[in-house]
């Protein structure tokens, strides 16, 4: 009976999401209904204890602090000066402006970790410039959308914090394990942009000497350094203290928020209105993450209580896939779910299901979690519900068709999958840094 309820619970999840209802309420509502059927109204007490457990998790304090840091940096307009300098510095190369967008997106990822903010910022700054100089629309939108998704992989990342709490592994180790794959992705994005523009110059024409002369060489270099040093200080204040064992991720998030606050003052962008907007946006984002976590935790508790994990495990083992077959199955499932469910929901749903399987087949937990984090970047880029696609479309408006944006992100999705395959073949890409620090 319990196994049948578990299957019906999963089917209900698919139906609920297909009808377009909010993920948090689908998860929580199904958990409540099936919990009452299975255990009666005692289920409500289980829910309350689950909520208290989430709110009492010290690690999750880092979420509002990192979001606050990101919102402060967004208000400081740090990306504007950096992009302005870099686009002239690299503009004489074919694809130089798109290359600059990837570089700035990588820096934003290491300082903000918020996909929406990165995509919108680079879209507003970069898209008019790319169109002005005749860049291919598909390439332009692909670079902006995919560059913004680096924020969920390159630390400090809110997603890694949630993953660490859910998988019961060190968030600090996840911050270390995800750095090399994230930087490798950014590097391959740059290589792809330069290669495609070298092969097809019309897709990313270089600036003429007259256009490049609009900003003197000395000003390009000094401007790049002036706008690059403060973010690097912030990165060292956050990641440096974590990697050297000086602070936990939660403590480092407080340091990062304070340094970001000082940077807004240093850039002359501080105002009480900006501060209130940052606090308000932080509260909204944190509430969104937590409400999904609460609903997903309730769903996972009911699913496991109904022996749903055993149903999944027996289903998988029936195919006799072996260790690598199981790994491939998990990655394919995450990829498909990413097309329809927000990353928070995916993490909170699949981790309780995957954990017994991961332990049974003796996978390294840090390695598997980082591989999932790497693959979840595609959830922002795959239709029909890829958030980065929506953000990009919101920036470009009706000027660029949606299908052009879809076409633009395909090469970057392939690159993400390629890096995932490399991480599977060479696990030290993920595990080397945690073993050193």
Rounded Cα–Cα distance for residues 23 and 28 (Å)? 9
State both tokens at 285: 């984002």
For residue 358, give the nearest of 174, 366, 343, 348 by alpha carbon.
Answer: 366
Task: State pLDDT tens for residues 235-268.
Answer: 888 888 888 888 888 899 999 999 989 888 888 8
pLDDT at 206 over 70: yes
Instruction: Output the pLDDT for position 212.
Output: 67
Rounded Cα–Cα distance for residues 359 and 381 (Å)? 30
pLDDT at 211 over 70: no
Rounded Cα–Cα distance for residues 346 and 5 (Å)? 20
**In a 10 Å sphere around its CB, with 0-12 CB exposed, 13-18 middle and 19+ buried, how is residue 428 labelled?**
exposed
Task: State pLDDT tens for residues 296-349.
Answer: 888 887 887 777 777 777 777 777 778 888 899 899 999 998 888 888 888 888
Instruction: Output the pLDDT for position 2.
Output: 66
Give percent above pLDDT 70 in the chain: 98
State both tokens at 292: 């999904």
Rounded Cα–Cα distance for residues 311 and 307 (Å)? 7
Rounded Cα–Cα distance for residues 188 and 416 (Å)? 9
State both tokens at 362: 């003796």
Number of H helices, E strands in the chain: 23, 0
Beta strands in 303-436 (DSSP E): none
pTM of the model: 0.89
Instruction: Output the pLDDT for position 215.
Output: 66
Task: State pLDDT tens for residues 384-402.
Answer: 778 888 889 888 888 889 8
Task: State pLDDT tens for residues 77-127.
Answer: 777 777 877 887 787 889 999 999 999 899 888 887 777 778 888 888 888
């Amino acid at each position: 009976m319990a196994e049948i309820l578990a299957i019906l619970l999963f089917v209900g999840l698919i139906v609920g999401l297909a009808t377009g209802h909010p993920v948090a309420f689908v998860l929580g509502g199904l958990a409540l209904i099936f919990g009452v059927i299975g255990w009666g109204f005692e289920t409500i007490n289980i829910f309350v204890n689950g909520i208290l457990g989430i709110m009492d998790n010290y690690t999750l304090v880092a979420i509002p602090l990192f979001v606050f840091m990101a919102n402060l940096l967004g208000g400081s307009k740090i990306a504007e000066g950096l992009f302005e300098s870099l686009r002239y510095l690299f503009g004489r190369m074919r694809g130089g402006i798109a290359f600059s967008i990837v570089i700035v997106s990588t820096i934003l990822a290491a300082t903000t970790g918020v996909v929406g903010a990165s995509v919108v910022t680079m879209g507003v700054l970069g898209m008019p410039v790319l169109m002005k100089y005749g860049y291919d629309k598909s390439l332009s939108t692909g670079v902006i959308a995919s560059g913004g998704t680096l924020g969920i992989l390159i630390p400090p990342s809110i997603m890694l914090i949630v993953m660490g709490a859910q998988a019961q592994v060190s968030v600090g180790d996840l911050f270390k394990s995800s750095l090399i794959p994230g930087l490798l992705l950014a590097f391959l994005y740059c290589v792809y942009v330069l290669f495609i523009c070298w092969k097809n110059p019309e897709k990313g024409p270089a600036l003429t000497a007259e256009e490049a002369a609009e900003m003197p060489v000395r000003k390009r270099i000094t401007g790049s350094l002036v706008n690059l040093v403060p973010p690097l200080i912030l990165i060292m204040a956050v990641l440096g203290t974590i990697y050297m064992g000086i602070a936990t991720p939660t403590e480092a998030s407080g340091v990062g928020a304070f340094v970001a606050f000082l940077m807004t003052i240093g850039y002359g962008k501080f105002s009480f209105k900006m501060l209130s907007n940052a606090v308000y946006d932080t509260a909204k984002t944190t509430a969104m993450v937590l409400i999904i976590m609460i609903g997903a935790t309730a769903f996972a508790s009911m699913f496991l209580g109904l022996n749903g994990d055993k149903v999944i495990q027996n289903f998988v083992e029936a195919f006799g896939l072996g260790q690598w077959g199981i790994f491939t199955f998990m990655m394919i499932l995450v990829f498909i779910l990413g097309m329809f469910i927000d990353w928070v929901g995916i993490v909170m749903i699949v981790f309780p299901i995957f954990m017994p399987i991961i332990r049974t087949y003796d996978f390294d937990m840090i390695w598997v979690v980082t591989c999932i984090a790497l693959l979840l970047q595609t959830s922002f880029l795959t239709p029909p519900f890829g958030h980065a696609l929506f953000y990009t479309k919101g920036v470009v408006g009706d000027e660029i068709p949606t299908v052009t944006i879809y076409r633009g992100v395909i090469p970057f999705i392939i690159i993400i999958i390629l890096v995932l395959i490399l991480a599977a073949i060479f696990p030290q890409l993920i595990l080397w840094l945690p073993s050193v620090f």
